[in-house]
Amino acid sequence: MLAVEARNISKTFISRERSSFYRGRKKVVEALKNVSFEISSGEVFGLLGPNGAGKTTMIKILSTLLLPDSGEAYVNGYDVVREPEKVRESIGVSLYSDRGFYWKLSGRENLLYFASLYHLEPGWAKDRVDELLSLLGLEEDADRLVEEYSTGMKSKLNIARALLHDPPVLFLDEPTIGLDPNSARKIREIILELKKKGKTVLLTTHNMFEADVLSDRVAIINKGKILAVGSPSDLKRRISSKSILEIELIGVKDNGAFETLRGLDGVVSMAHQWLDPSAGRVDLKVILDEKGSLREVLEHLLRTDNKMLSVKSIEPTLEDVFVYYTGERLESQA
Ligand SMILES: Nc1ncnc2c1ncn2[C@@H]1O[C@H](COP(=O)(O)OP(=O)(O)OP(=O)(O)O)[C@@H](O)[C@H]1O
């Protein structure tokens, strides 16, 4: 059975820029362009893409918080536009941008308050809150004020709130962003625990490791378009006949030092990331097909006046799949 179905969803935002120079200039952003995908019941599905790719917009549409301009979407079989109440009963949502807790209440009091908003029967709600505090590992901090919570604790509380009414489908927007490695690992364990309980999870992330370890299937999204969908191993297999080089350079003045590589025979895609702009340190990924030559790439780079710190031939990761399809890195560039 399909838990989520999106068919040709498009969404454009029109806003006014507020810069003093271009006061009121109209800005049009096509956040989603004909996006389609399906998620089976019980699946963990990752939407992987960089900042601004359209991931949160997609989650907001599926959560009935935003209306699509065109296209159709169904959650748990219900139409997000025509049956929003039924959709809301079926989902738990944890949006990165909106934690919205009451800081002067404890974690437990917050959950009990939100349970009352969901009209959960008070006796049942108390047990449910205890169960969720334990699932999320928040028992010890349950009676502290939320204003004293760390970012990780607030993220866990956010997921607990999404689970209060025991919905079959969960939408988690960047569930581990800004967390220390331990808290991030804990959240990932919780997501896998939820999968074991039969929940369907749609998570958005710009972290390829997270998408890889958690998702049954991943959709790679960039600039409002889905570029590829498949299991992490499927996606990596699509580029397994290519050679992926990771080259670290120092003393690079500008992109011109490596951009000309694109013209070399056999270079199918490449993307860079500035590691330390003041020292000109750049991490460069180059994807070659069978016509490409490592020697030619290195000779080309040595002709410029930067230094090569390391060259590695690596196994494909989801980030390389992203580079292959977009010619960009997933992480932000300087
Ligand atoms: N309410 C809005 N008004 C105008 N533009 C918007 C609005 N919401 C989103 N956008 C724009 O739509 C695009 C997609 O944004 P969205 O938040 O969906 O991306 P994202 O993939 O979730 O990235 P991030 O992780 O940075 O939130 C961006 O260019 C964003 O600036």
Q: Going along 125-260, which residue ranges are E strands?
A: 169-173, 200-205, 217-222, 225-230, 243-250
Alpha-carbon distance 127 to 6, whole Å? Answer: 35
Helix (H, G, I), strand (E, B) or coil at 252: coil
Which ligand 1 atom sits nearest the alpha carbon of residue 47?
21
Could you give the CA distance from residue 316 to residue 235 in angstroms, rounded to a whole number?
A: 9
H or E stretch at 183: helix 181-196
Question: What's the rounded Cα separation, in Å, for the pair 22 and 20?
Answer: 6
| Domains defined along the chain, listed by start | 2-237 (3.40.50.300), 241-314 (3.30.70.260)
Q: Tell me what pLDDT residue 120 has.
A: 86
Residues 203-235: tens digit of each pLDDT: 999 889 999 999 999 999 999 999 999 999 999
CA of 151 to the centre of ligand 1 (A): 22
The string of pLDDT tens digits covering residues 170-197 is 999 999 887 888 888 988 999 999 999 9
User: Which protein residue has the closest C-alpha to ligand 1 atom 18?
Assistant: 54
pLDDT tens-digit profile of 324-333?
Answer: 999 888 874 3
pTM: 0.88
Q: Which of 29, 96, 173 to mutate to test the pocket of ligand 1 (most atoms within 8 A of CB)?
A: 29
ipTM metric: 0.95
Number of H helices, E strands in the chain: 11, 14
Pocket test for ligand 1, best of 30, 55, 96 (most atoms within 8 A of CB): 55
Confidence of residue 97 (pLDDT cuts 50, 70, 90): low
Whole-number pLDDT of residue 333: 37
